[in-house]
Structure 1
């Protein structure tokens, strides 16, 4: 009876639908020749597309989406219906003086399906630098400006977007409001790094960036100018280990011919703060990328397939890939007669990787033809299969077989 119950439980478990992400989105379309029916259909399609885009954006950063946009558009956005479990119509109406039709829906997006498709396309993988970054403004220095300071608020405005453009997944306004609400309730004293890291882990962040900004009071230089400065301090941590990745301090100054009054000082302080923050983001991005590169977690992951080559040539190809320092995490996924699939990680772009492998193998007198596939997938085909068959015959006479390929490469 117990085993029967367990069996039924397993069936029910595996039959349960995967969790879906609920989003509320709008779609609109222009009304042509008074045809509202066609416009409403197009508006619905656009709303569904927007829902799927939200799903992709929750998984990938802006930079990765931009680099792979054509593939994502052709492989996911065009088949948007596959990634919508269901939707509910909230509102529909004509807008812009009756020239457009707008529909608002509540849709359940199949986020797991999108992730699976992105992994098949090799756009998403576990070792990519597509890290989730939590950025918070928190004072550890009593002289630092308050978060509600106008200059601080203006300087913080582009931070999330800029980090996203540099390849990081950031958090939305609702989550950030929750973060700052937690900080206010905790009433953290001083740096309180452990509490900040715990907060980052609660939101599944990979990287924590803590910022504070100190105003440099006006002072007169040796010349005739007055300087107003902003000192921006970034501390960067890996959330899961609590390890500090880097610390940056950037000082930026603005000058004035006269001693600035309060209004002028605020304006100059704001300008200096904006420049200092952008430079701090640039430096932080470099430190984070270098940190993950050193731990072999950066770069792009590719599936590289070789078809129609002899066992002897497959051995040569594997040795070449394993001994090339530009390729990391080289893993054999499949190695059978005439078919070799390799997974590797590299900082190269797809076109560069294709040219590099083609030219390197040519040096070893291995000629290849390439086939283009969507995503981070490369296929190299033997253009001279008859010659390879001759090599197989001679190879077999020397005791080399397809079985020996598997044995030698698995060791």
Structure 2
């Protein structure tokens, strides 16, 4: 067999990678996005305060963020499949332990630590990294949008499904159903097996070490700004995902509307993510990110200032859905543009850590401030201010390769 034949056989099947990657993103993101539906039934059943459950999900987001660079390094070093398989085991174990969690500590260990680690090792960020090394540079932004939109489809499907299952078979059995779905991830991840190769063809220096890549990233102004701004995305997304359903219920609008609100966010985020991926390949990614964060601030301001009705909740959810994870194709795309795909899983992992620190604070502060004041008003206003700051932070980011890559391209 010739070297050319060997390379041809080793080439990934791009359609299969995309389809399986999208299914993984959908399934892994679904249960996590539906955690807010378990907020009221679990706290009422166990007699916990809202801060107890909020802290568990806050821990989940923080552990997810801390685990993301580690999972990225593992995927870059040993391959995507091994990381995904480990993540599925941890994720399933966390869901099962939630069923029998009788104390706050048990809830924090299961819903917090185990599920957080499970998501870190099986989430769409590793899927995007696999897409980044599989498709051509011209196709990356759109591929990232498709992968992100698949996670949104999971949110759209799992929230009404979760709400219906909780009402019909109870929250414990619903968690068991979610566990069975997570168990399918290792099978789907077989198509994503492999790891990036060090070669000039991949757009990076063949002898660059992981430590050098990390040092290069943190020495780049654009990477620091991108990482800082992504904190705000996590704050917004996590706060709304967990606290919007109980906020709606507190207003006397019913619990079912909360599930549909999250489903609307997921549905419209499919459109937003695809549009973001498409636009990111043709227009300035930093400017698009600034406009997205500014749009979020305006949408939240309008939502809390106008009378809140079932119609206004769904309109707000639709608008936020368009702006929801549309940041991810642009953010991950900027990482790929600046540093190439070689260590994308690791570098995007560090950016995502900032996202999850923001998520931790958004979820925890939402519960804490509610317990102290009986209202979510303060956290809504905080979200508005942070959206404006994020719009300012992203504007000056330069969308260009680092000098090392630019020099390679010139040679």
Give the TM-score normalised by structure 2.
Answer: 0.20
* Structure with greater proportional strand content: 1
Higher helix share: 2
Which of structures 1 and 2 has the bigger CA Rg? Answer: 1
Which structure has more RCO (C-alpha within 8 Å, separation ≥ 6)? Answer: 2
